[in-house]
Chain A
Amino acid sequence: MRSQIEAGYLHARGRWLADHMPQIVLIPTVFATLTYVVLFSLWTVWLSVSASTVLPDPTFAGFHEYAALWQNKRWTVAYQNLFLFGLLYVVGSMILGTLLAILIDQRVRFESVWRTIYLYPLAISFIVTGTVWRWIFHPQTGVELALKDMGWLAARFDWITNRDLAIYVVVITGIWHASGFAMALILAGLRSVDGDLIKAAQIDGASLQRTYRRVILPVIWPIFLAVAVVLLQFAIKTYDLVVALTQGGPGVATTVPAIVVYDLMFQRGQIAQGAAAAVMILLALATVLVPYTAYTAWRRSREGAHHG
């Protein structure tokens, strides 16, 4: 629909204004978004190949900061952590979320109460979540001390201070925070499945497990894909949770790319390398989102062709 609120009785300027009102009201947003999405991205990309150190310096310096970044031990650890954390966090949240969604789907009483309980962590910040779980995991304040107080003096639960295990603390906390989100979406998906399909499966003699595994879950796989993509996106952007929980430690054991970016930019005065690290985060997001977007667009056009 081409805009055309022509008004014969208005004089030319008023008419032009009325004519272009839709475009005019979009101007602030378009300006802000173009700045924010396009200009800022290009700006940061430029900084990553500039000679910037403590202060921005627009002189072109080549790609050596990228090379330096991949030589940086902290960065490689952060990237490995991202893969490990991302994998366990996404898979764990989805398994737990599916389980919870199926349980709630059994026509339980007080359904909204259960849902509210499982989902509430998502409403509170990563900072609060991280702080709470730090106290619980920390040997001097949390579970270990409680076990010792109960008389089990040899009790040890010091994952959060253990270089090899601290990352799993981040994973557990992350799953605690996000599994309700997976539950909510998967439950919505389960509810969208045609009830007759389930009746048919029951009459075909399928057990409940089999009904879910073979009939219901395969129908809603696009939801699983969507949940996985969103969670993966969260994982790549993870920052606050780790800061509040472990501050990337012990040592660099739980550091993640977003922390490295912050440190390089604002603590170590290596703006160019920090920008390079930020670009790497953008690339990681793009490798997840671009294929997904292309895939959904393709699927939609194919469905459109079927219907039309």
Chain B
Amino acid sequence: MADAVPHRDFDPLSTGSFRQRILSKTSVYMALTIFALGYLVPLVIILINTLRPLDEIVRSGFIAWPHDVSLQYWGEAWSTFCIGGTCEGVSRFFKNSLMMAVPATILSTAIGLVNGYVLSKWRFRGSDALFGIITLGVFMPAQMTLLPWAFVLGKLGLSNTISGLVLVHTVQGLSFTTLFCRNYFVNIPDDLIKAARIDGAGFWRIFRRIILPLSPPIIIVAVIWQFTGIWNEFLFGTVFTSGANQPITSAIVAFSGSGTGERHYNVEAAAVIMAAIPPLFIYLVGGKYFVRGLTQGAVK
């Protein structure tokens, strides 16, 4: 349903006199444009300020026409800017976030696929109850789990490590991926599984040969959802890691919220954009599936 294919063959605004039609269509496009500006302008403002020298920003603020334009602040932000004692720019934190988000996304998606397969096609007594509990994880507020996680990560020797964050995000993400995959697989006819069983295929062979080839749409949804969610996450990163091991969201707050010393708005703006690029890229590439993930996560 989220594909939003224009299926309606009837357009009320295309009826009536020519004058009326032009008028109503024009006002629709005007409104659309005004709103679009409202969504785009903040991003454009920050983008422009990644190119402006600091004294210019300090003098006239963010909302001003650029005079001197330079790409050097991007370089500074990436590799030399000092954040929390280390002067490696955001590149380090960007890598941290990648090291966290990529494995956690792959793990939670892979396990979620198998879980969804079991919970939709190999139901057993109590499996629906298990699914209910797994789904509860979707709604769990992070605050309820902070202290137990801190304790568990400490016991496992994963305090202040990226691996610890991978674990936390994988466990939390399982609820989402299992929910997505189960609800997707439920719509695959059971007869296919029965036919494959009569054809002599077992649990894993059915998964590999029947289910996985049908899964690309839901894999894309799960990957987009998980990657953007984990990349953008802030609380776990702040609580469970510190210093050089933090993900990029925590690093941004660390340097822009510190409030001491001189502010480097242009470099900070570049760092902020860098933090936004991976999820934005994923969103632009898989936009259709992104919307499907949203609707599935929300309406189910």
Contacts and interface: CB of A to CB of B under 8 A. Distances in A.
A49 interface: no
Contacts of B31: 103
B178 interface: yes
A127 interface: yes
B144 A282 contact: yes
Given A128-B276, A131-B252, A100 B133 contact: no
Most buried by A among B12, B61, B231: B61
A141 B62 contact: yes
A243 interface: yes
A56 B1 CA distance: 48
A281 B141 contact: yes
Contact of A261 (B143, B171, B282): B143
A247 B136 contact: no
Contacts of B4: 111, 115, 184, 187-188, 191
A1 B190 contact: yes
Grouping DSSP codes into helix (H, G, I), strand (E, B) and loop, the A interface class, with mixed when no group exceeds half, is helix
Contact of B60 (A56, A149, A262): A149
A142 B61 contact: yes
Contacts of A62: none
A18 B25 CA distance: 63
Interface stretch (B66-74, B79-87, B116-124, B210-218): B116-124
Interface string B141-185: 111111111010000000000000000000110110010000000
Interface string B42-67: 11011001000000010011111000
Interface stretch (A68-76, A162-170, A232-240): A232-240
A60 interface: no
Interface in B281-300: 282-284, 287, 290-291, 294-295, 298-299
A235 to B, nearest CB: 12
Given A41-B144, A208-B12, A258-B143, A124 B134 contact: no
B148 A39 contact: yes
Given A123-B290, A188-B4, A106 B13 contact: yes
Given A32-B174, A127-B234, A181 B294 contact: yes
B35 A124 contact: no
Contacts of B282: 123
A243 B61 CA distance: 22
B11 interface: yes
A233 B256 contact: no
B189 interface: no
Interface residues of A, number: 105
Given A117-B40, A128-B276, A202-B15, A289 B134 contact: no
Contacts of B234: 125-127, 239-240, 243
B7 interface: yes
Interface string A1-22: 1110101000000000010011
Contact of B149 (A18, A40, A233): A40
Contact of A44 (B15, B111, B144, B239): B144
B40 A125 contact: no
Nearest to B49: A135
Interface of B: 1-2, 4-15, 25, 28-29, 31-32, 35-36, 38-40, 42-43, 45-46, 49, 57, 60-64, 111, 114-115, 118-119, 121-125, 127, 130, 133-134, 136-137, 139-149, 151, 171-172, 174-175, 178, 190, 197, 202-204, 228, 231-235, 239, 249, 252-253, 256-257, 265, 268-269, 272, 275-276, 279-280, 282-284, 287, 290-291, 294-295, 298-299
30 contacts: A2-B125, A5-B197, A5-B203, A21-B204, A32-B174, A34-B133, A35-B171, A40-B144, A44-B148, A106-B25, A106-B28, A107-B13, A108-B32, A111-B4, A111-B6, A116-B287, A120-B283, A123-B279, A132-B42, A132-B43, A142-B62, A145-B63, A185-B299, A188-B1, A188-B4, A226-B299, A237-B141, A258-B141, A278-B144, A282-B144
Closest 4 CB pairs of A and B: A125-B232, A145-B61, A123-B283, A22-B122
